[in-house]
Every structure is written in C-alpha cells, then in structure tokens.
Amino acid sequence: MPQEQKQNGEDWYRYALALEASEDGFWDWDLIAGELWASPRFQSITGLTAARSTLDAWLDRVHPHDRPRLEAELRAVRRGKAQRIASEHRVQSLDGAWRWVQLRGIVSRDPNGPVTPGPVTPGPVTPGPVTPGPVTHIAGSLKDTTERRNADPLTGLPNRAFFVDRLEHRLERGFQHADWDFAVLSMAVDRFERLSETLGSSGGERLLIETATRLQSLVEAPSLPGRMVGAEFMVLLEGVHTEAEAADFARRAITAFRAPFLFRGHTVVPQLAVGVAKASMVFSHPEEIMVSAESALTHARRQERPGVACYSDGMRERAMERLELEAELERAIRSGELVMHYQPEVDLRTNRIIGFEALVRWNHARRGLLPPNEFIPLAEETGLIVPLGEWGLAEACRQLVQWRSSSNEQMQKARISVNLSAKQLEQPGLVDQVRKVLAQTGLSPASLRIEVTESSLISDAPAAQKNMAALEKLGVGLHMDDFGTGFSSLDYLQRFPFDTLKIDRSFVRGIAHDRESRLIVGSILSLARSFGMDVVAEGIEDAQQLEELRNMGCPCGQGFFFAKPMDPKTIDAIVLSGAWGPQSDLPIAQA
C-alpha cells in the first residue's frame, strides 16, 4: 500500500474514532445535493434514524415554537448574509422528550463559483470588495445542553422551564390518546423563611437540598419532580386515576417530610403543604394546571396545620381576591384606614377599669369595618404584620397617654395591652422599637403590657426568649394569652418571664354549669398564685360567669358582659362622662 494511502486511512480511522467518542453530534448539509449527513450522536440527540437524510426531516424534529427562528438563521447563512450560525433550540428525541441543544455551523463556498465585483465609482480605479462564490455546504456540531439548561443549580432537580416542557408534552399525549391518568402537585416547605432565619443562609440551602433528596426518593419515573422557585416544588405524578389517589400520595409525602432535619446543632421538623390538581380536558396549557395546583397549595397553607388541598372551582378566583386584598392591606397601613378599638379590662372585685386591650380594625372603603380575623392571618402570611404591628403599638401607647392626661381616676391609672405576633416576636429590633415608642409617647414601661399567644413561642423559641427577657428588663409587662389551649403551657411558664395569665374564653364559657371547666379554671388560678402571677379571665358574657369567677378568687376579667371593643370616642363618651363609676354595677355594654 502506498505510504500516502496508508496515511489517509489512518487519518480517517482516527477521525471516525473521534466522532464516535465525542459527546457532540456532527452534521454536514450539502446544499447542492440537498442532503444532510448526520453523525450517530447527532441522530441520537435529534431522533433522526439515518445517517443520510434531508433538511426537512431534521427540522420536523425541532420544537414548533423554535423552528421559525432556526429556519431564518439557516436561510441567512445559506444566502451568504452570515458566515456562521449559532442557535439554541429544542428537538424531540425518539422517546418523545424535548431536549435543548446548542447548534454551531460554518459555511463552505465554491472557490470556482462566480464572483461579483464591487461597486464601480468614477475616478481612479481602486480594488473593491469581492463577494466570494456561492455557499455549497454548511457543517458544524450539535451539543445536548438539556441537563445544564434544565437542572436547578442548587438541588439538581429539573427546573421550571424543563418541567413546563415535559408537562406540555404530557398534555398533548392526554388529548391524543385520552390519557388523563396524571396530576400536578404543588408543594412548599411551610414557614421556610423563618426556618432559614434560624438555620442561616447555608442551613436554608441545605434544607432545600434535603427536601429535593426526600422528594426524589418518593417519586419514581415516569413521574417527574421539579423545583420552581424558593422552597416551592412541583411533581408531575403519573399513574393516578383519581384525585383521591393523588391526595393519598400527597399525604404520604407530608408524613415522610416530618423526619427531623439537623444542621449545626439546630433541629427542625419541616412541614410540607401540598396542592393537588388532577389532569383533565379542561386544562389545555401547562400554566393552567400549574396555576390550579398553586391555588390549591395556597388553600392548604391557610389551614390550621399545613396539609393537602385539592383544586376546586372558585379557588383561583379566591386566590386572586386574596392577592387584591393583600395589596389593599398594604395601602391601608400607609393611608390610615386601620383603626384601634379598645376592650376594657376590669377589676372583678370593684368593677373598676384597670386597663384596655388594644385590638386593630380595618375600616375598609368597600367592605366596612373588618375584624382582625379577616385580615390578620393574611398579614401574618405576607409579612405585613410587622409594619401593621409597629403602627398598632405606637397608636395604642399614644391613645393611653391621651386618656391618662384626663381627670378620670380610672384612666389615669389604666394600662394598655398590645398583642404581638410570632413574626414580630422574632424581630431582632423589637426591643429597640418598643423603647423608641415609649420615649416618643412619654409612656412608662410599667403601663405597657405585651400579650403573647403560645403559638408565637413555638416557631422560634430562642429568639422569643431573648426578646422577652429584654422586655422584662425594660419593665414591660408580659401576658400569656389563651393560656391552657396548647401543649407546652407549663414549660413556657418556666422558660419565659410572664407576669400574667389570660384564661382562654373556652374555659370561661362553661364555668357556670360545667364541672370540668370549673376545675380547669381553678387549677389555672392555683398555678398563677404559686408562680406569683396575675390572672385575667377572657370572654365573660353573663352575670353567672362573673359571679363564679368572683367566688373562685379571679382578680380581673374582660368580655362582652362589661363591654365590646369600642373606638376611643365611645369610651370617652361613656367612661370619661362618669357613666362607668367605681361603684356601678352596670356594664358598659348595657349603659
């Protein structure tokens, strides 16, 4: 064999080996013959089944949304308007999945083809630009970028773009084959922001990675998990014939996620909320079924304990209303639509007013005066509770200072109680904020009471403990609200510096006729005495309840029997006018 032939054979062998080993596909479009040559890897990526094919066969594998752009780019190169092509688009592999690819190519021209001289201009002849011969080949490489483009960089799960592509393909199959045995589940780690604050940013990231790991262990192919944004995930759940089957999977996921997560000495128990949207013909686009699952998730997160909610008609509309209400609440905080009402706290032995509990109301432009249960949960969920609480604290202290400047003896000695939310209790600047309000209003710390519910202490006990200790040192009183309704009340009495217990209204309601209620209230009173604490009974609604509490030695109380929460003008008209006197047996509510 001549040396030159031998060398050419070795070069071709090496070239073939390089093609076989490369992760990239290679292609060569012969414009003269109208033929496309594709390497084995190119065929594998694009779904072509032969090495020799046509341009149309290739373009038929390109995603319909991407094909017009790719055709325009190829047309520009073919006409000689560009020397190179670089395009990123989707192609459909043989298994039906859409894959992202990066295409590169360069033109080859016929050196013997006709040339076009440059423009002729008057005057001396100068060399002009010359257009080379016609394009005969366009050749280049194709790289599969699906994993890089579609993987969430933190968790490694498919990202939103890939999830939408796969869901779009699954919906097409549903319409083609009447196959609706799948569902979309929207999942979120409840209170992730608070958990992340406790664990730190690195701990929060580790929690997301752990969430992804647990999710992957639950989801088997062809079902697909994906990370959307923040601590929200989605699952394309295959093989479920009914909504109930999808909900059963969601409940198993919630149970699996309750395993404790440990990070640098911190232990948290993640709570998962899940929204379920069962596939059907009513969903024609991925966004529609995803939004439905997210609406169900919003409903699941608003439950007393995070759980499972299945999409139903009207959920999306209610979610939109909730978004609108959130925007209105944010404006209300700034524009002065919020108002304070005050409910008297009474010395049960003398019938004298000893203080007021401040309760926020929203004077809504369209819906009238809204009670706290219609907007406080929304404020808690969205974080608006922080600016709302700052306003409420300042307004309550300002009002008490105004009342104490009157000539009424009861008002001069009155105190004010302000409710504090869990999110407020965790704020690093809480104590400085309280100190600033007291300084600005001139109110003494001993005249301010902070009311804390047991649920406020569960979320982040170390932060709450630190703030409450500082408030006690400042001289502010601390009330445990709704005492006896939780699981750790006694533990909290030992860990936190409360000076007053507020007996929950559920125990007061039955005190006149229910032995068990009387025993519970008696136990709370005995416990308070042993701890040297004061007691306020909530929810007193009739004379029998009042008499029973007096006989049991309960010192203070509040409730509709005395007065409903009232605006400051009403209180001025009744109390400051003398209608409520030290010796009066007549409740304000009936005055």
Q: Out of 141-150, 239-248, 527-536, 546-555, which region has the weakest mean confidence (pLDDT)?
A: 141-150
CA distance 180 to 183: 8
Q: Do 189 and 272 contact (CB within 8 A), yes or no?
A: yes
CA distance 344 to 584: 15
CA distance 385 to 424: 7
Place of tokens 């202290």: 397
DSSP 163-198: HHHHHHHHHHHHHHHT---EEEEEEEETTHHHHHHH
Helix (H) or strand (E) holding 355: strand 353-364
Nearest to 28 by CA among 183, 190, 140: 140
DSSP 133-170: PPEEEEEEEEEE-HHHHHB-TTT-SB-HHHHHHHHHHH
Q: What is the per-residue pLDDT for 325?
A: 81
pLDDT tens, residue by residue, 371-384 = 888 888 888 877 88
CA distance 503 to 450: 16
pLDDT tens, residue by residue, 104-129 = 999 888 766 554 443 433 444 444 44
Helix (H) or strand (E) holding 331: helix 315-335
Q: What is the per-residue pLDDT for 347?
A: 93
CA distance 163 to 225: 8
pLDDT tens, residue by residue, 500-541 = 999 989 899 989 888 888 999 999 999 999 989 999 999 999
CA distance 407 to 277: 63
Helix (H) or strand (E) holding 216: helix 192-218
Q: Out of 86-100, 272-286, 337-351, which region has the weakest mean confidence (pLDDT)?
A: 86-100
Q: State the pairing for strand pair 534-537/500-503.
A: parallel
CA distance 311 to 292: 6
CA distance 363 to 410: 29
Show the tokens assigned to 225: 């998990």
DSSP 198-210: HHHHHHHHHHHHH
Residues in contact with 66: Cβ distance below 8 Å, sequence separation at least 6, in sequence order: 89, 90
How many CB atoms are closer than 10 A to CB 245?
16
CA distance 58 to 50: 11
Q: What is the per-residue pLDDT for 321?
A: 72
C-alpha pair distances (Å), 26 with each of 29, 76, 96, 107, 229: 10, 20, 21, 14, 36
Place of tokens 């939109």: 320
Q: What is the per-residue pLDDT for 590?
A: 42
Q: How many C-alpha atoms does 316 have within 13 Å on its Cβ side?
A: 11
What SS3 state is found at 74? helix
Q: Out of 8-22, 414-428, 530-544, which region has the weakest mean confidence (pLDDT)?
A: 8-22
Q: What is the per-residue pLDDT for 250?
A: 94
Instruction: Compare 461 and 331 and report the one with higher pLDDT.
Output: 331
Is residue 458 pLDDT above 80, yes or no? Answer: no
Q: What is the per-residue pLDDT for 489?
A: 62
CA distance 254 to 237: 15
CA distance 257 to 214: 7
Q: What residue ranges define each of the domains in the chain, with the CATH number in brackets? A: 23-110+132-147 (3.30.450.20), 151-312 (3.30.70.270), 337-577 (3.20.20.450)
Computed from CA positions of residues 507, 511, 513, 518, in that sequence, does the dihedral angle turn out positive or negative?
A: positive
pTM of the model: 0.55
CA distance 35 to 19: 20
What integer best gives the mean pLDDT of the chain? 84
